[in-house]
Amino acid sequence: MPIWTCPNKECPYDKQLYPGQQCPLCRNEAVEFKFNEFGNLLKRKDIFRKSIKKAKQYRDRLRRIKFCPKCGSANINCLIFYRPSIWKCLDCGYEGAFIVEDGKLAEKIQVRYRKAIEEKYKQFS
């Protein structure tokens, strides 16, 4: 017996549909699948769901990481345990209360910091 469902592997809707019916999420028309093809489609949809979940987890982890505002390094520690508002970067030596918690901004800071270091070395060469 054929199974009718949404053919879009990026659509999370995996319930059975009727012939000619549209998927309620992505509006693709239902397609007839044989049982083994349906299993492969469900596997692809599951892989897609897991990749989205991993990407969200990665973004959440980046939000929790603290970065140095001078060099963009994540190698930053609390300077004094009883004053958690003072941070020290172990890479560039920055000490202060201001830290960055945005991963994208930290990447931009890292690029800018590397360029500044390269320019310093060019002056001495």
Instruction: From residue 32, give the alpha-carbon distance in Å to each of 16, 41, 42.
Output: 10, 12, 14
Q: Where are the domains of the chain?
A: 3-64, 76-124
Model's pTM, two decimal places? 0.51
- Residue-level pLDDT, tens digit, the chain, 125 residues: 678 888 887 888 878 888 888 888 888 888 888 877 878 888 888 888 899 899 888 877 767 788 999 999 999 988 777 766 788 999 999 998 899 988 888 899 999 999 998 988 888 76
* 3-class DSSP state of 6: coil
Q: What pLDDT, on a 0 to 100 scale, did the predictor assign at position 60?
A: 79
- pLDDT for the residue 125: 65
Q: How far apart are alpha carbons 115 and 88 in whole angstroms?
A: 22
**DSSP string computed for 54-84:** HHHHHHHHHHH--B-TTT--S-EEEEETTEE
